[in-house]
Homo-oligomer: A and B are copies of this chain.
């Protein structure tokens, strides 16, 4: 059996985990999902660490970042932490982040969040199931999460 970790926050204004878990359950029914909810962005790396320590093969994290410049520093610090965790463990931690200033309309922000989380859930599943070759056919194809793909420049 394979374990997949899901980390989310109470700071987020969208329950992205609900959608991520649905995608994993439908496409990877053999997986045991362990979910860990923390207050905010900067608590995410340690939660991911705890889930990896519990045997998760990979983790998906669902962050929500405020609009102030200092929130962007928190984003930077958390991103560095998640990357360091990954190179210390050799495990994927797929980092879904929504920035509150990506859209003025909350409805639009909701759509971005769900779209991004769902697409990255599929990415996670493919990487865990098939490894580094799983996404090869999309390499350089200008895929985007949170909105429509932009496509490759040529070909």
Which residues of A are at the interface with B, using a C-beta cutoff of 8 A? 8-18, 34-39, 42-43, 45-51, 53, 65, 69-70, 72-88, 90-95, 99, 106-107, 109-110, 120, 123, 127, 131-136, 138-145, 150-155
Contact = CB atoms under 8 A, between A and B. Distances in A.
Given A39-B145, A72-B69, A82-B42, A34 B132 contact: yes
A72 B81 CA distance: 16
A139 to B, nearest CB: 5
A75 B154 CA distance: 24
Nearest to A42: B95
B42 A79 contact: yes
B10 A141 contact: yes
A77 B83 contact: yes
Given A74-B79, A81-B83, A94-B43, A136 B35 contact: yes
